[in-house]
C-alpha cells in the first residue's frame, strides 16, 4: 500500500498569528490520482496546500506542526528548493511573470534548476510543457510575446505549463479556476484530467461540482479538520457524515 | 454667469502662482545663462576657470571645465557608493519588513531625506576632511551619498512593494531561491522604479552646494584625482554668484544654465519617461 501513497500528511497543524487554522489533518494521496480538497471558504484548504510546498517558510507569523511525507521523505527535512521542484503549484489567480515572454515563463524554472544541457533541449521542454497545458497551438507562433498580454485563461494555462516544466511528482492546484470564466474553466478541467496520466494532482476547490467532475478522491475539510475522505463516487453518493451531505448539496 | 466657489478659485490662483514662480526662475536662468554659454561656446566646457580679472587682466580663455568635470566625477563616485547601499537597504525595507533592522533602516532613510543637506556636509567634514587633513572630491562624494542613499532606498523599497506577493510566490513555488526571485526574476519589474529613484537622487545630488562646501574644496584646474580637492558647478554658483566681478557673475549664470538645463532637467525628464514606458 505505502508505495502507492505518494503524499502522506500526519497530524498537520498550522497556526497563523497564533490562530489555529488547521487542527490536525491526516490524509493519504494515492499516486496518479486527482485528489480534491473541498470545503467552504476559510476552512483551511489553501493553508494546507501551502504547507505541503513550504510556502509558509517565508512568513514568520506562521507555525507548522506535524508531518508531511512525500515519497516517504519528510518535506520539512528536505531542501525547500528541491522540494518545490518536486511539487509544482498553480495559484488561485494566474500569476505568470508579466514582464517576461511566454517562452521565458516556462523556461525559467528548468534553467534555474539546470535541468537542460542545450538550447534545443530547453526548446523541446518548453514545447512539451505548453502542449501538456493545451496552450501550444495558441501561442506557438509568438513565444516572445509578454505573458501579461495573454487572456486570464491563457495565463492560467501558462502557469500550469510553467509548473509542469519542472516535471514535478505532485501538482498542487489552489482553486485554479476561481478567477476564470466558464469556457476557460472547462478547458482547464479537461487539462487536469489529462495531466493525471503523468502527475498526481492535488486540487483545492470550493465548488463541490468541480470535485465531482474531475477527481478520483475527495476530502471534505471543515473548520480546519477533515470531516470525510474517500473515493469521489462514494462521497458524493453515500456520504457518511451529515455535514458532508449538506455541503455536497450546497447547503453549507 | 456661473459661480465659482472661492476655495476652488484660490486653488487655481495659487497653482498658477507656484507654476509662475517656477517658470520665472527657469526663465531667469535661461535668459541670463544661455547667452553666456553661446558666447563662449566650446571653450566653456574645455578651459580652466579664469583667475580674477582684477589682478591678472582679461583671461585668454574662459571655461568651467573644472566645475563640470568635478560635478560629474563627484556625483558619479557618489552613485558608486550610494547605489549598492541604497538598493540593498530598499530590498531589506520591503522584503524583510518584519525584522528590526528593516524597520530601523526605513526610519533612518525617511529621516535622512529630511536632514538639511548642510548637516551632511559638516558631518563629513568632521568625519573625513579633518582626519585626512584636506578637502577631496571623494569626501564630497561621501557627503552626497548621504543625500542619495535614502532616495534610492525608498524608491527601491516602493518598487519591490508594488510587485504583487502572488508573483513573488509564483517564483518561489518553482523552487527558485528567494534571492534569485528578488534579483533575477523581478529585475524587469522593479527596474523602472529603481532607475527612477537613482535618477531623482542624481538630480538632487548634482544640484547640492551645501554638502560640498566643507568637503570637496575648490580647484581652478581640471583634476581627475578623487583624492584631490575639486570644483563643482553648484559651489561655483555659490562662490561666483556673490562676486562683484562681471565675468564671474556671468560664469555663475552659465554654470546655473548647464546644471539646470543640461544635467538636472534631463535627469528628471528621463526618470518620468522610464516610468511611463514601463507602466502596464
Could you read off the pLDDT of A24-42 as tens digits, one per residue? Answer: 999 999 999 999 999 988 8
Q: Is the pLDDT of residue B280 over 50?
A: no
Strand pairing report for A87-90 and A5-16 = unpaired
DSSP H helix total and E strand total for chain A: 10, 10
All residues at 6 or more sequence positions from A16 whose CB lies less than 8 Å from its CB, including other chains: A47, A59, A61, A62
Q: What is the pLDDT of residue A1?
A: 43
CATH number (3.20.19.10, 3.40.50.300, 3.40.50.720, 3.90.650.10) of A2-248 reads 3.40.50.300
Instruction: Inspect the interface and report whether the beta carbons of A88 and B173 lie closer than 8 Å.
Output: yes
Closest Cβ opposite residue B170 in set A58, A61, A91:
A91
Instruction: Inspect the interface and report whether the beta carbons of A113 and B175 lie closer than 8 Å.
Output: yes
Q: Where are the domains of chain A?
A: 2-248
Q: What is the pLDDT of residue B51?
A: 82
Of A157, A169, A158, residue with least CA distance to A199:
A169
Instruction: Inspect the interface and report whether the beta carbons of A81 and B171 lie closer than 8 Å.
Output: no
Q: Supply the DSSP symbol for A97.
A: -
Q: Does B164 touch chain A (CB under 8 A)?
A: yes
Kindly state the average pLDDT of the residues B139-156: 96
Q: Where are the domains of chain B?
A: 65-278
Q: Does B8 touch chain A (CB under 8 A)?
A: no
CA-based max dimension of chain B: 74
Alpha helices in chain B (DSSP H): 6-40, 43-46, 53-56, 65-95, 100-114, 117-124, 130-132, 137-162, 165-172, 178-180, 187-206, 210-213, 233-241, 246-257, 265-278
Classify burial at A238, counting beta carbons within 10 Å of its beta carbon; exposed 0-12, middle 13-18, buried 19 or more. Answer: exposed
In whole angstroms, what is the distance from residue B43 CA to residue B73 CA?
A: 19
User: What ipTM does this complex have?
Assistant: 0.91
pLDDT band of residue B60 (cuts 50, 70, 90) is confident
A11 φ, ψ to 5°? 50, 45
A106, closest residue in chain B (CA to CA): B174
Q: Tell me the residues of chain A between 62 and 81 that have a Cβ less than 8 Å away from chain B.
A: 80-81
Axis-axis angle for helices A182-195, A119-132 (nearest 10):
120
A93, closest residue in chain B (CA to CA): B166
Q: What is the pLDDT of residue B277?
A: 62
Q: Which residue has the cell 468541480?
A: A210
- Report yes or no: A204 and A174 within 8 Å, Cβ to Cβ: yes
Please work out, in degrees rounded to the nearest 5, the angle formed at the alpha carbon of residue B183 by the alpha carbons of A117 and A160.
Answer: 60
Q: Does B173 touch chain A (CB under 8 A)?
A: yes
Looking at the complex, report in whole angstroms how far the Cα of residue A163 sits from the nearest Cα belonging to chain B: 7
A251 φ, ψ to 5°? -105, 0
In whole angstroms, what is the distance from residue A62 CA to residue A217 CA?
A: 29
Residues facing A62 on adjacent strands = A16
Q: Does B177 touch chain A (CB under 8 A)?
A: yes
Q: Which residues of chain A have pLDDT under 50?
A: 1-2
Q: Does B98 touch chain A (CB under 8 A)?
A: yes
Q: What is the pLDDT of residue A2?
A: 46
Kindly state the average pLDDT of the residues B112-124: 93
Instruction: Inspect the interface and report whether the beta carbons of B173 and A85 lie closer than 8 Å.
Output: no
Q: Phi-psi category of A250—alpha, beta or left, where left has phi over 0 and alpha has psi -120 to 50?
A: left
Residues of chain A with C-beta less than 8 angstroms from the C-beta of B166: 91, 93, 95
Distances (CA, A) of B165 to A59, A97, B94, B153: 12, 12, 11, 20
Q: How far is CA A8 from the centre of its chain?
A: 15
- Report yes or no: B210 and B164 within 8 Å, Cβ to Cβ: no
- Report yes or no: A100 and A108 within 8 Å, Cβ to Cβ: yes
Domain B65-278 CATH superfamily? MetI-like (1.10.3720.10)
Of A143, A138, A137, A139, residue with least CA distance to A123:
A143
Closest Cβ opposite residue B188 in set A89, A100, A163:
A100
Per-residue model confidence as pLDDT tens digits over B218-256: 999 998 999 999 999 999 999 999 888 889 999 999 999
SS3 call for A14: strand
Q: Does A111 touch chain B (CB under 8 A)?
A: no
Q: Does A152 touch chain B (CB under 8 A)?
A: no
Q: What is the pLDDT of residue A84?
A: 96
In whole angstroms, what is the distance from residue B70 CA to residue B212 CA?
A: 11
Instruction: Inspect the interface and report whether the beta carbons of B178 and A113 lie closer than 8 Å.
Output: no
Q: Does B277 touch chain A (CB under 8 A)?
A: no
Please work out, in degrees rounded to the nearest 5, the angle formed at the alpha carbon of residue B96 by the alpha carbons of B94 and B100.
Answer: 115
In whole angstroms, what is the distance from residue A49 CA to residue A33 CA?
A: 16
Looking at the complex, report in whole angstroms how far the Cα of residue B273 sits from the nearest Cα belonging to chain A: 18
Interface probe for A, chosen from B162, B173, B278 (most Cβ of A below 10 Å), is: B173
Strand pairing report for A34-38 and A217-222 = parallel
Q: Does A114 touch chain B (CB under 8 A)?
A: no
Q: Does A101 touch chain B (CB under 8 A)?
A: no
Instruction: Inspect the interface and report whether the beta carbons of B174 and A166 lie closer than 8 Å.
Output: yes
In whole angstroms, what is the distance from residue B231 CA to residue B253 CA?
A: 16
Amino acid at each position: 500500500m505505502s508505495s502507492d501513497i505518494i503524499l502522506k500528511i500526519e497530524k498537520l497543524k498550522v497556526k497563523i498569528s497564533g490562530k489555529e487554522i488547521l487542527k490536525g489533518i491526516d490524509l493519504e494521496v494515492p499516486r496518479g490520482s486527482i485528489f480534491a480538497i473541498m470545503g467552504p471558504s476559510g476552512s483551511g484548504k489553501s493553508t494546507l496546500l501551502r504547507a505541503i510546498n513550504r510556502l509558509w517558510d517565508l512568513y514568520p507569523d506562521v507555525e507548522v506542526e506535524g508531518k508531511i511525507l512525500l515519497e516517504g521523505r519528510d518535506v520539512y527535512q528536505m531542501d525547500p528548493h528541491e522540494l518545490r521542484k518536486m511539487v509544482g503549484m498553480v495559484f488561485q489567480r494566474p500569476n505568470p511573470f508579466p514582464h517576461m515572454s511566454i517562452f521565458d515563463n516556462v523556461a525559467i524554472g528548468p534553467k534555474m534548476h539546470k535541468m537542460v544541457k542545450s538550447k534545443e533541449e530547453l526548446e523541446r521542454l518548453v514545447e512539451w510543457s505548453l502542449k501538456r497545458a493545451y496552450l501550444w497551438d495558441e501561442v506557438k507562433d509568438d513565444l516572445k510575446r509578454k505573458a501579461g498580454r495573454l487572456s486570464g485563461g491563457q495565463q492560467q494555462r501558462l502557469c500550469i505549463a510553467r509548473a509542469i516544466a519542472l516535471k514535478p511528482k505532485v501538482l498542487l492546484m489552489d482553486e485554479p479556476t476561481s478567477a476564470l470564466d466558464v469556457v476557460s474553466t472547462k478547458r482547464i478541467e479537461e487539462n487536469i484530467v489529462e495531466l493525471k496520466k503523468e502527475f498526481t494532482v492535488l486540487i483545492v476547490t470550493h465548488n463541490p461540482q468541480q470535485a465531482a467532475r474531475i477527481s478520483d478522491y475527495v476530502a471534505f475539510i471543515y473548520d480546519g479538520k477533515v470531516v470525510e475522505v474517500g473515493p469521489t463516487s462514494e462521497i458524493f453518493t453515500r456520504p457518511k457524515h451529515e455535514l458532508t451531505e449538506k455541503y455536497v448539496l450546497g447547503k453549507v | 454667469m456661473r459661480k465659482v466657489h472661492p476655495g476652488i478659485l484660490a486653488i487655481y490662483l495659487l497653482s498658477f502662482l507656484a507654476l509662475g514662480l517656477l517658470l520665472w526662475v527657469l526663465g531667469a536662468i535661461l535668459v541670463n545663462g544661455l547667452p553666456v554659454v553661446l558666447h563662449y561656446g566650446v571653450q566653456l566646457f574645455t578651459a580652466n576657470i579664469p583667475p580674477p580679472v582684477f589682478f591678472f587682466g582679461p583671461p585668454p580663455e574662459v571655461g568651467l571645465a573644472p566645475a563640470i568635470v568635478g560635478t560629474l566625477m563627484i556625483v558619479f563616485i557618489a552613485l558608486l557608493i550610494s547605489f549598492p547601499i541604497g538598493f540593498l537597504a530598499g530590498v531589506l525595507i520591503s522584503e524583510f519588513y518584519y525584522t528590526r533592522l528593516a524597520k530601523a533602516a526605513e526610519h533612518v532613510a525617511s529621516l535622512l531625506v529630511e536632514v538639511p543637506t548642510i548637516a551632511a556636509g559638516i558631518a563629513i567634514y568632521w568625519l573625513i576632511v579633518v582626519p585626512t587633513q584636506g578637502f577631496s572630491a571623494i569626501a564630497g562624494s561621501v557627503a552626497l551619498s548621504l543625500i542619495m542613499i535614502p532616495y534610492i532606498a525608498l524608491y527601491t523599497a516602493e518598487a519591490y512593494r508594488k510587485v504583487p506577493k502572488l508573483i513573488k510566490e509564483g517564483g518561489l513555488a518553482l523552487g527558485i531561491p528567494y534571492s534569485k526571485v528578488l534579483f533575477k526574476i523581478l529585475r524587469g519589474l522593479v527596474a523602472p522604479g529603481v532607475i527612477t529613484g537613482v535618477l531623482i537622487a542624481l538630480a538632487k545630488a548634482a544640484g547640492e552646494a551645501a554638502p560640498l562646501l566643507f568637503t570637496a574644496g575648490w580647484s581652478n584646474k581640471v583634476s581627475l584625482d578623487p583624492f584631490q580637492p575639486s570644483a563643482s558647478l553648484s559651489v561655483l554658483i555659490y562662490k561666483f554668484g556673490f562676486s562683484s566681478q562681471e565675468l564671474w557673475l556671468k560664469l555663475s549664470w552659465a554654470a546655473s544654465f548647464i546644471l539646470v538645463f543640461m544635467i538636472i532637467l534631463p535627469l528628471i525628464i528621463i526618470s518620468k519617461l522610464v516610468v511611463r514606458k514601463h507602466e502596464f
